[in-house]
Copies of this chain bind each other. A is one copy, B any other.
Amino acid sequence: MKKHNFFAGPSILSQYTIKNTADAVINFADMGLSLLEVSHRSKQFTAVIEEASALVKELLQVPEGYTVLWLGGGASMQFCMVPFNLLRKKAAYLETGTWAVNAIKEARLFGDVDVVASSKDANFNFVPTDFVIPADADYFHYTSNNTIYGTELRKDPDSPVPMVADMSSDIFSRPVDVSKYDLIYAGAQKNLAPAGVTLVIVKNDALGHVDRAIPTMLDYRTHVKKDSMFNTPPVLPIFSALQTLRYYKELGGIEKLMLADEEKAARLYDAIDSSRMFVGTAQADSRSIMNVCFVMAPEYKELEGEFAEFAASKGMMGIKGHRSVGGFRASLYNALPLESVEALIDCMKQFEAKH
């Protein structure tokens, strides 16, 4: 049976990425060795990391003066690295979900945090847009897509201060004006690569302005100076990221990915909105293109378990909603084919017809 991969992350990757990674695990770059067992300083791997960084710059039109980094530790590590390196006195944060809450918690260890707006009281079912960013903040941090709650801020906000964004779950799904940011970070395991590497795009001039001592590995300058090779980087995830980036370029770049993503999400939201049985949880104007969260309408609530089983029997994988929201979540990352969305809609319609 065909499996449809709706996992929220780690999540579906292109067959191109998977196939090339499997091949390289057997024989990398015709070295006669596995990708798992070659030096990160071999010229073959150096070429991989250089091409991957160049493709990130090309696809996202990164301006001069920024460095692309590939770091271990996960996006959660960035929650402390960002304030360690950038917070002098005060930073502004937008509170839109669990990951934003976690980022705010870490920032408070380093200085004043001005939470400019929060949707916490509404269980984060929308992204606030009515807020004022203080002009004396060192930076404004937001989470562009809230995987758990299925909400998204799909345009670069206007800000009087440089921005920092956690784009872990929607990077490469829309063009970004990188020049508005001091730093963008993204855990790779959504639209890019298997878990184990975090992409960071940092403005070089934004670094070096704090007084505190920064442990070497947490200092972005360490990694900028050494092109992400200060220590052994996560070799395989970076190789896989390169495959995905090549695939994105081949497909036609970010605009093409964006159109396909928007089409997939529109289809699924339409199906939810035209159903009596399913209800979207996010406010319409905050709906995520990447993670579609929905629950059973109150009168069908008792059928939730049955639908979960029915969907599983049709090959739908990973659609259980996060416990903070309940119900269901279908993640429609770049690599998910439209066919999988159609299969899910079909499955929902069949189930509704049955009852």
Contacts and interface: CB of A to CB of B under 8 A. Distances in A.
B25 A3 contact: no
- Per DSSP, chain A at the interface is loop
Interface in A23-76: 25-26, 31-40, 42, 71-76
Interface residues of A, number: 65
B194 A35 contact: yes
A236 B235 contact: no
A233 interface: yes
Task: Among A72, A80, A106, A231, find the residue whose CB has the most chain B CB atoms closer than 10 A.
Answer: A72
Interface in A253-311: none
A18 interface: yes
Nearest to A3: B32
A85 interface: no
Interface in A113-172: none
B25 A12 contact: no
Nearest to A36: B194
Given A18-B25, A195-B236, A109 B36 contact: no
A196 interface: yes
Contacts of A40: 10, 195
Contact of A76 (B7, B77, B109, B230): B230
A334 interface: no
Given A216-B76, A232-B189, A237-B236, A13 B36 contact: yes
Interface string A220-247: 0000000000111111110010000000
A217 B22 contact: no
A89 interface: no
A11 interface: yes
Given A8-B39, A10-B232, A195-B235, 11 more contacts: A10-B40, A11-B37, A22-B26, A36-B194, A36-B240, A75-B231, A76-B217, A106-B216, A195-B234, A234-B237, A236-B236
13 contacts: A5-B33, A7-B39, A10-B37, A18-B25, A18-B26, A18-B36, A25-B25, A36-B240, A37-B335, A72-B77, A73-B217, A76-B230, A196-B197
Q: List 8 A-B pairs, minimum CB-CB distance, nearest first.
A: A196-B234, A80-B215, A73-B73, A36-B194, A76-B231, A22-B25, A3-B32, A72-B73
